[in-house]
Amino acid sequence: MVEQLLILGVVASAVYALLSLGFTLSFGIARIVNMAHGSFFMLGAYFYFYYGARGFGKLDVFPSLILAAITVAIIGAVFYRLAIHSVMGDDVALIVVTIGGALVFQQAVTIIFGTGHVTINPLMEGAIHISNVAVTYSKILAITISLSLFACISIFISKTKMGRAMKALSQDREAAMLMGINTEALATLTVAIAGAMGAVAGTLIPASTSQMADPFMWTPPLTIAFAVVILGGLGSIKGTLVGALILGFSETAVGLYFPEGGFLKTAVALGVMVTVLLIRPRGLFGKRIELEE
Amino acid sequence: MHLLEVENLTKRFGGLTAVNNVSFHIDEGEIVGLIGPNGAGKTTLFNLITGFLKADSGTVKLRGENILGLAPHKIVNKGLARTFQVVRPFRHLPTIANVLVALQSPRGSDKIEWIKTPERKALELLEDVGLSEMMMEPAEILAHGDLKRLEIARALGTEPDLLLLDEPFAGLNPIETDLLTKSLQTIHLDGHTMVIVEHKLRALMKLAKRVLVLHYGEKIAEGSPEEIAKHKKVIEVYMGKGK
Amino acid sequence: MVTIYLRRAYRSFALHILDIPSRLMALLLIVLFLAIPGILPANPLMSYLLSVLITASVMAIFASSWDLLVGRCGQISLGHSIFYGVGAYTTALLFRSYGLPSWVGILIGVLIAAAISLPIGFPALRVKGPYLALVTLALPLIATSIVFALKDITGGENGLPIPVEGRFFQLTNIHNLRIAEYYLTFLLLLVSAIIIHKIANSRTGIVFVSILDDEMASKACGINVTRYKLMAFAISATFAGLAGGVNVHLLLSASHGDFSLTLSFFAVIMAVLGGMGTIYGAIVGSYIIYFLDMYFLRMVVDVPDVWHVLIFIVPVVLLVIKWPRGIARFVTDELEDLSEERPLEERGKRIWKKYRRKKKSANEG
């Protein structure tokens, strides 16, 4: 049981880190609370399924994955330009629009694929055995892919010119504009990247663990991404990693010890989020303190 | 007993000490000025006293009662009200409704004479600051000067013993400044004690009998307006070290 | 070109014909609504039309309760269906197990909905904006999971049907039944709407708006913001529970869909469509949506159910983008501006119509 916890926990943590990184980027840089972020997760799984099983003559694992990520990235960018861009100032409108978007995606997928599950094949067959436990290659692959992508994006943010521009944007939008940085383009790119990462995450989890996807699977990732980012601290990449670890393991633990309690997972993530917001709003490694009270 | 007693109040933001070991007291019936260059910590001090910010150390006592750590609305209901440097009106409400909100607070509604309705009292408060004509207008269309006066009327709605005004004269033209000075004098005569943060020193010196000077979070001087005007450190801080 | 003529015609129409004070307008609408069953012939299509209106009336209660919380008090709740579901399942269970009369069941459901709003609201309302939205978003999900987990009690996937005796009126003629239900729900809507409207425009309602506008300033006025937020939450939960309970005795079942996120979002759609913050806008929105959903998209044009949600959301999202203040408000704003011959670019459209009317009469008197 403990080994299972360990393995699954690591998988969960790694993938959640990737998912949440996308969220923290769009929250911190594009300054939007994208309620449809979980939809990227769901859409990623479905596109992976589609490209692999039906479209383009049954693509292989990696091409499907990459294509799915690209497709969702484009969807994210379009969604941003069309819907989000125009309601930027208004908090309520933004939430209404992004939830609306999420529901539109949900319904669209339901119409095309039906409300039931869709089977996602594992990334790779076979497993290695570490001290009596079978660790599937899928899981190892999931961990590797997530962590490498996470590292790539982090390096991109800190080392490249564009990445530093994004960071500037997250700290002071007006100043960034004055510096000649094309904030709109950058924000759109951020959402696209968030989309891509969410899509990869959405593929890796089903492909390595649950083996299934349904149109409603966008809400748990949303809650988790929120909770991870709040826990780790807004704007902190290190925080996202740590937050993902904590939440990944707690969630897995809850899932293992209470197999019937699907809702408990969401409740745990929520509980963490609310607790952090009440006790230490800036999270573990967050930099900005909210002045109000 | 002092109306307000602040001792060793300190607030740090990471590496920056915004308010550093500040102590002072306010007695009933005073008008005290609080001045200092931008960034000296005046508004932070207000936020700490009124409960909008958590202090790192020190005490704040209102009529001997410790109010540090209490929620802002509780502090208001103990008789300590404040206005904001950047006006915060309730945009969707008419002017009179803005004041009505304050009259809905426990203290505000308590202190309405039994013969009056809250609306009547709100109108009177608006008259006191010269806004009665605008009473039905939505607050969002008021001019800046009117909004500043609305802030004061609203704060008065809670019948405070001590009123903290954060830059009430900011953005007012000379006529408005004059009118406000007169209003504040009337308010003072009505029995309200005031602490006023201001940059417009001329207007402030007309009202305040005692002035505190803050610089980089520390109290560097205290005295009558005349004493402060001649105070070496104060001049240095505002003018720079000249020849 | 054509638009110029249209605009001119509209202008003269509005100025000369539609210049009716809103109270009179509301009265006329009510009279019209009361007369509808009398006008309609008794055939199955008309019975169906009546049931559309019945559903719309009940859901209008749901939507206007949401509007009070979100449009007036600024607390974005995406989990409103949890109270609806609680109201629904309570009365369904009580009827099935104990055969309690519908009113008792509904009343108890309402009380329970109000009761659970407090422990939910207390932690939830401490966070703001998107965080509150997310927390409340999760509520329907958690509730649905619980419903499935306790399938022995709640009937799980299948829900809880109740027998015909559960109806409000034991009438065998469907058309007459619908007429009776129509008047009942309309009455309920009227009473609920009046109560909610009175609260929204009371002194307490003023405090709600102050919280919506600027929570910090509200605190600086000595207002215990948390208490008022909870109050708004509890009041809206009560009416949501009422809607849920009533619907059970109309549709003769409670199901897990009563806890769904989609239902929650319907409240958003209805209120936003009609105009957030106006209360009556949510009612208008409800009629528009259910007319569309149950009549137009089912009888006139046959569209599969799955598409319905999609069809609503897209225009609503577009609407929020173009007219953040909703349709009903846009129309009434336009009419008001026309009647005062104000330039249309002038800003300063407001929620507080009542005060403007007062001012008008003060100026004329």
Per-residue pLDDT band for C16 (boundaries 50, 70, 90) equals: low
**Count of CB atoms situated within 10 Å of the CB of B177:** 18
Residue-wise pLDDT tens digits, C246-260: 999 999 989 988 998
Max mean pLDDT among A50-54, A55-59, C48-52, C315-319 falls in C48-52
Query: Which residue in chain C has the smallest CA separation from A230?
Result: C131
Per-residue pLDDT band for B6 (boundaries 50, 70, 90) equals: very high
Whether A271 has its CB under 8 Å from any CB of chain C: the answer is no
Least Cα distance to C217 among B50, B78, B135, B168 occurs for B50
Residue-wise pLDDT tens digits, B89-112: 998 888 999 999 999 999 999 888
Distance, in Å, from the CA atom of B112 to the CA atom of B102, rounded to the nearest integer, reads: 11
Of B29-38, C10-19, C177-186, C238-247, minimum mean pLDDT range: C10-19
| Residue appearing with tokens 């509520």 | C139
Whether C66 has its CB under 8 Å from any CB of chain A: the answer is no
Check residue A133 and report its DSSP letter. E
Distance, in Å, from the CA atom of C66 to the CA atom of C49, rounded to the nearest integer, reads: 25
Mean pLDDT of chain A: 83
Distance, in Å, from the CA atom of C174 to the CA atom of A241, rounded to the nearest integer, reads: 62
Residue-wise pLDDT tens digits, C170-189: 888 888 888 899 999 999 99
How far is A99 from chain C, CA to nearest CA, in Å? 8
Per-residue pLDDT band for C190 (boundaries 50, 70, 90) equals: very high
What's the pLDDT at C104? Answer: 93
Give me the phi and psi of B191, to 5 degrees please: 110, 15
C195 pLDDT exceeds 70? yes
> What is the mean pLDDT of the segment spanning B53-70?
92
Residue-wise pLDDT tens digits, A154-172: 888 888 888 888 877 777 7
From chain B, the residues in CB contact with C221 under 8 A are 73, 76, 101-102, 104-105, 108, 154-155, 157-158
Residue-wise pLDDT tens digits, A249-292: 988 888 888 776 667 778 888 888 888 887 877 778 776 554 44
Sign of CA dihedral C107, C146, C266, C160: negative
In degrees, rounded to 5, the angle at the alpha carbon of residue B47 between the alpha carbons of residues B183 and C232 is 90
What ipTM was assigned to the predicted interfaces of this complex?
0.91
**CB–CB of B81 and C203 under 8 A?**
no
> What is the mean pLDDT of the segment spanning B187-198?
92
Distance, in Å, from the CA atom of C181 to the CA atom of C175, rounded to the nearest integer, reads: 10
Query: Which residue in chain C has the smallest CA separation from A83?
Result: C321
Whether C217 has its CB under 8 Å from any CB of chain B: the answer is yes
From chain B, the residues in CB contact with A293 under 8 A are 51-54, 72
| Residue appearing with tokens 């649950």 | A210
Query: DSSP string covering C35-67, please?
Result: HHHHHS-SSHHHHHHHHHHHHHHHHHHHHHHHH
Query: Which residue in chain A has the smallest CA separation from B51?
Result: A293
Least Cα distance to C335 among C20, C5, C54 occurs for C20
**Count of CB atoms situated within 10 Å of the CB of A272:** 22
Residue-wise pLDDT tens digits, C310-349: 888 887 777 777 665 555 555 555 555 544 444 333 334 4
Residue-wise pLDDT tens digits, A107-120: 999 888 888 888 87
Of A133-142, A173-182, C346-355, minimum mean pLDDT range: C346-355
Mean pLDDT of chain C: 82
Residues within 8 A of B (CB atoms), C 274-313 only: 277
What's the pLDDT at C36? Answer: 83
- Between strands B31-35 and B193-197, the pairing is parallel
C108 pLDDT exceeds 50? yes
Distance, C-alpha C347 to centroid of its chain: 28
Rg of chain B in Å (alpha carbons): 18
Residue-wise pLDDT tens digits, C29-45: 888 888 888 777 777 88
Per-residue burial over A175-194, b = 16 or more CB atoms within 10 Å of its CB, e = otherwise: ebeeeebebeebbbbbbbbb
Q: What's the helix, strand, coil split of chain C in %, to 5?
A: 80, 0, 20
What residue type is C157 in one-letter code?
Answer: E
What residue type is A27 in one-letter code?
Answer: F
Q: How many residues does chain A have?
A: 293
Distance, in Å, from the CA atom of C218 to the CA atom of C134, rounded to the nearest integer, reads: 24
Least Cα distance to B187 among B209, B156, B208 occurs for B156
Distance, in Å, from the CA atom of C29 to the CA atom of C134, rounded to the nearest integer, reads: 38
Least Cα distance to A222 among A34, A69, A31, A75 occurs for A34
| Contact yes or no for B29/B187 (Cβ under 8 A) | no
What's the pLDDT at C147? Answer: 87
What's the pLDDT at B242? Answer: 55
What's the pLDDT at C9? Answer: 67
All residues at 6 or more sequence positions from C52 whose CB lies less than 8 Å from its CB, including other chains = C290, C291, C294, C295
What residue type is B178 in one-letter code?
Answer: D
User: Which is higher by pLDDT, B152 or C309?
Assistant: B152
**CB–CB of B72 and A293 under 8 A?**
yes
Residue-wise pLDDT tens digits, C217-246: 999 999 999 999 999 999 999 999 999 999
User: Which is higher by pLDDT, B152 or A169?
Assistant: B152
**CB–CB of A267 and C142 under 8 A?**
yes
A131 pLDDT exceeds 80? no
Whether C222 has its CB under 8 Å from any CB of chain B: the answer is yes
What's the pLDDT at B90? Answer: 92
What's the pLDDT at C280? Answer: 86
Q: Which residues pair with B24 in a beta bridge?
A: B6
3-state SS, chain B, equals CCCEEEEEEEEEECCEEEEEEEEEEECCCCEEEEECCCCCCHHHHHHHHCCCCCCCEEEEEECCEECCCCCHHHHHCCCEEECCCCCCCCCCCEHHHHHHHHHCCHHHHHCCCCCCCHHHHHHHHHHHHCCHHHCCCEHHHCCHHHHHHHHHHHHHCCCCCEEEEECCCCCCCHHHHHHHHHHHHHHHHCCCEEEEECCCHHHHHHHCCEEEEEECCEEEEEECHHHHHHCHHHHHHHHCCCC
| Contact yes or no for B3/B193 (Cβ under 8 A) | yes
Token couple for C268: 């958003």
Whether A112 has its CB under 8 Å from any CB of chain C: the answer is no
Query: DSSP string covering C266-306, please?
Result: HHHHHHHHH-TT-SHHHHHHHHHHHIIIIIIIIIIS---HH
What's the pLDDT at A293? Answer: 40
What's the pLDDT at B241? Answer: 63
